[in-house]
Amino acid sequence: MQVTSLSLEAFKEMDYWAVEKYKLSIELMMENAGLQLARLVAKKATQSSVVTIGVGNGNNGGGGLVAARRLAAWGFKVYLDVVVPITKDLPKTQLERALLFGAKEGIPETTDIWVDAYLGFSQRLPLSDAFAKSIGLANASSAFRISLDIPIGISKNGELSGFEADQVMTLAAPKTILEQLPSGIEVFVADLGIPKAVYRHFNVEMPDFSKNQLIAL
């Protein structure tokens, strides 16, 4: 029987398969993730909106930085809340690109849309104080809040004690951990470009990305 959502462990395996068997690099998939995230932010934004994108030192942060670059390229005001030093190669390159495109480091006085690309599926709880501080500021602000892939601070059974997202844009396939989120939170799934054969191999239903690469669940 096909399943419609995946555990984080199963998703990591699926992802590994796409990289190994189809030479789909993380950078390519990150580009797809970041573009869809930028589209979701832009739908909510006006040209005067201030967007803050929070990033950590991993591929979740990397996806957020691609979104930052795309949004800056479209003319939006983008700030980056860089919580920890960005030392890993790919996120570091994405940070350089986003800054060259006009994103600014720091948290502005007011934010209209706050994006959580702090940490994704490799997050361990409890979070360090630096992440907890940023989450506190985001939750206390009046910003509309969007999480990339899974919210930072979500527990294994889906309790949301971290970033209080209004929307979550998850990648490639729905994740079971997101099924426990409060019903008011809108969840979207975005296409990473993983082929149907990989979904078939893992017995998971592929969302119909043929018409739309950003689908509301």
Ligand X SMILES: NC(=O)C1=CN([C@@H]2O[C@H](COP(=O)(O)OP(=O)(O)OC[C@H]3O[C@@H](n4cnc5c(N)ncnc54)[C@H](OP(=O)(O)O)[C@@H]3O)[C@@H](O)[C@H]2O)[C@@H](O)CC1
Interaction between residue 122 and ligand X (CB under 6 A): yes
Residue 145, annotated as binding a ligand: no
The residues in 141-200 that bind ligand X, with binding defined as CB under 6 A, are 148-149, 171, 192
User: Under the rule (CB under 5 A), what is the footprint of K ion?
Assistant: 116, 120, 147-148, 152
The residues in 37-66 that bind ligand X, with binding defined as CB under 6 A, are 56-63
Q: Which does 53 bind (CB under 5 to 8 A by kind): K ion, ligand X, none?
A: none
SS3 129: helix
* Residue 59 structure tokens: 């591929």
Cβ 30 to ligand X shortest distance, Å: 4
Interaction between residue 15 and ligand X (CB under 6 A): yes
* Residue 57 structure tokens: 């030192």
For residue 161, the number of C-alpha atoms closer than 13 Å in the C-beta half-sphere is: 8
Cβ 88 to ligand X shortest distance, Å: 7
Of 168, 171, 141, 173, nearest to 152 by C-alpha is: 168
Residue 202, annotated as binding a ligand: no
Rg (CA), the chain: 16
Interaction between residue 26 and ligand X (CB under 6 A): yes
Of 143, 162, 160, 167, nearest to 217 by C-alpha is: 167
Residue 122, annotated as binding a ligand: yes
Sequence-distant (6+) residues with CB within 8 A of 82 are 55, 95, 105
Which of 53, 78, 119, 138 contacts ligand X by CB under 6 A?
119
Largest CA distance in the chain: 51
Cβ 109 to ligand X shortest distance, Å: 26
Residue 162, annotated as binding a ligand: no
Cβ atoms of 112 and 94 within 8 Å: the answer is no
Cβ atoms of 173 and 190 within 8 Å: the answer is no
Q: Which does 41 bind (CB under 5 to 8 A by kind): K ion, ligand X, none?
A: none
Q: Which does 146 bind (CB under 5 to 8 A by kind): ligand X, K ion, none?
A: none
Footprint on this chain of ligand X (rule: CB under 6 A): 15, 26, 29-30, 33, 56-63, 119-124, 127-128, 131, 148-149, 171, 192
